[in-house]
Structure 1
Amino acid sequence: MNQAAIIPATEEDIPALDKLVNSAYRGDSSRKGWTTEADLLDGIRTSEVSLRAMFLNPNTLILKYQEADRLLGCVYLEIKGDDLYLGMLTVSPDVQTNGIGKQLLLAAEQVAIDRKCRAVTMTVITQRHELIAWYKRRGYQATGETQPFPNDPRFGIPKQPLEFIVMEKIL
């Protein structure tokens, strides 16, 4: 039986993280799963350069879900004041709906508790109704705040006007 683990990612994981995140969010491979953004955005979701910059920030942590030698999921965490910002929650399209996303979310919430954070916060593209509902079922609520989608091709090229809602779960 394969042993699964959620552990901190390292810089050696950058190429695999890049491949995983882009396969889950963009392009035809992402359409196998329910978290695709391919209908909303062209371009890439992240890059090795962007991932490397994340590892340089002392307030960040990327957790990875690994089964045997296979990287199946990840989540980006960043301490911002009293809150833990959660982003880039990713599960390989081949294994979505197997509970890996829930496990990563719980692991992220435990990091927030361990670091005595007030809440876990995130931004979600407003058009991602299924994803917003998934987070709501796990105790996250919209704060009423919105943020513009970045006008930067490093985050993708919008096919329509996009913005984020801010969601949080008070701990």
Structure 2
Amino acid sequence: MNEQISPATEQDIPALDKLVNSAYRGESSKKGWTTEANLIDGIRTNEEGLRTMLQTPDATIIKYEEAGQLLGCVYLEKKGPDLYLGMLTVSPEAQTGGIGKQLMAAAEQTAIVQHCRAITMTVITVRHELIAWYERRGYQSTDERIPFPNNPNLGILKQPLEFMVMEKVLT
């Protein structure tokens, strides 16, 4: 990993919380193309959830920093033969600058080092532009669908939503 990309620590939790929520929900997220604000109200994560993610065995959050400022992150968790990728986040002000691609490359390198079969992820099915972005990077739908959890801690749905499972086979 380059000096801009490194594993997050518990000291990063407040900044991660602010970054993830600003990129996915609320008015600030509307500056970027990854917003979910038109689909879901409320917060995307909280400090307790991020702490749990960091403490999960076989999991990490990789962060991207520039000039000491946190601009991106991605959650990675080894699940059996695969690496699960979630919460890919880039600051709305820094989107379209290649940070997401760099975090994806770091995730793929992590998967290769861990001898993973594939990288898997879930994407909200109505996020067509995001699905297309992942498809351009070699990810494909597995045709599996998962209901979006009805959990106010994950946001308040403005419409019924479901996830699609996508994967990129590495071997």
TM-score by length of 1: 0.97
Q: Which residue of 2 aligns with 1:42?
A: 41
Distance (whole Å) between structure 2 residues aligned to residue 24 and residue 78 of structure 1: 21
Q: How does 1:1-171 map to 2 (within 5 A)?
A: 5-171=4-170
Taking only the aligned residue pairs, the percentage that are identical comes to 72
Distance (whole Å) between structure 2 residues aligned to residue 14 and residue 69 of structure 1: 15
Secondary structure (helix, strand or coil) at the match of 1:87 reads strand
Distance (whole Å) between structure 2 residues aligned to residue 145 and residue 9 of structure 1: 31
Secondary structure (helix, strand or coil) at the match of 2:53 reads helix
CA shift, 1:154, in A, is 1.2
Secondary structure (helix, strand or coil) at the match of 1:65 reads strand
Question: Cα RMSD (Å) of the superposition?
Answer: 0.9
Residues 144 and 166 in structure 1, CA contact (< 8 A), matched pair in contact too: yes
TM-score by length of 2: 0.97
Q: Which amino acid aligns with 1:38?
A: A
Distance (whole Å) between structure 2 residues aligned to residue 139 and residue 9 of structure 1: 26
Flag structure 1 segments of 5+ consecutive residues without an equivalent: none
Matched pairs, number: 169
CA shift, 1:13, in A, is 0.1
CA shift, 1:155, in A, is 1.0
Instruction: Give per-residue Cα distances to partners, 1:60-118, cap 9 Å, x unaligned.
Output: 11000001110000000000000000000000000100000000001001000000000
Q: Which amino acid aligns with 1:6?
A: I
Distance (whole Å) between structure 1 residues aligned to residue 21 and residue 153 of structure 2: 12
After the TM superposition, list the runs of 4 or more consecutive aligned residues in structure 1 that deviate by more than 2 angstroms: none
CA shift, 1:4, in A, is 5.7
